[in-house]
Amino acid sequence: MTCIAPADMHRRGMIGTKDMAQGDVRTKMVRGAAGLLATKGVEGTSFAEVLAVTGAPRGSIYHHFPG
């Protein structure tokens, strides 16, 4: 079974630029939050810090994590 990485999917035309960009922002936010939570804990981490670390716009929280 062959696994196609997201970058390969984009090059092969399997995923649009908009879809890729949205996935990148969400992934950056999750990774940034995980790093902050691992070092600062839940009480010491804020949404503002996650946004600052990832460079994501404020509305990204509500767009990518509506629940």
Closest CA to 51 of 31, 34, 66, 29: 29
65 is in which domain, residue-wise?
17-41+57-67
The answer to whether position 7 is within a domain reads: no
Predicted pLDDT at 17: 45
Residue 61 inside a domain? The answer is yes
Residue 67 lies in a domain: yes
Given this model, what pLDDT does residue 67 score? 83
Question: Total domain count for the chain?
Answer: 1
Task: Look at residue 20 in the predicted model and tell me its pLDDT.
Answer: 46
Tens of pLDDT, residues 7-62: 444 444 444 444 446 678 999 999 999 999 999 999 999 999 999 999 999 999 89
User: Is 8 a domain residue?
Assistant: no
Identify residue 10 by its one-letter amino acid code.
H
Domain assignment present for residue 35? The answer is yes
How far is the CA of 40 from the CAs of 11, 32, 54, 65, in angstroms? 38, 12, 16, 21
The reported pTM is 0.63
Residue 50 belongs to a domain: no
Residue 12 forms part of a structural domain: no
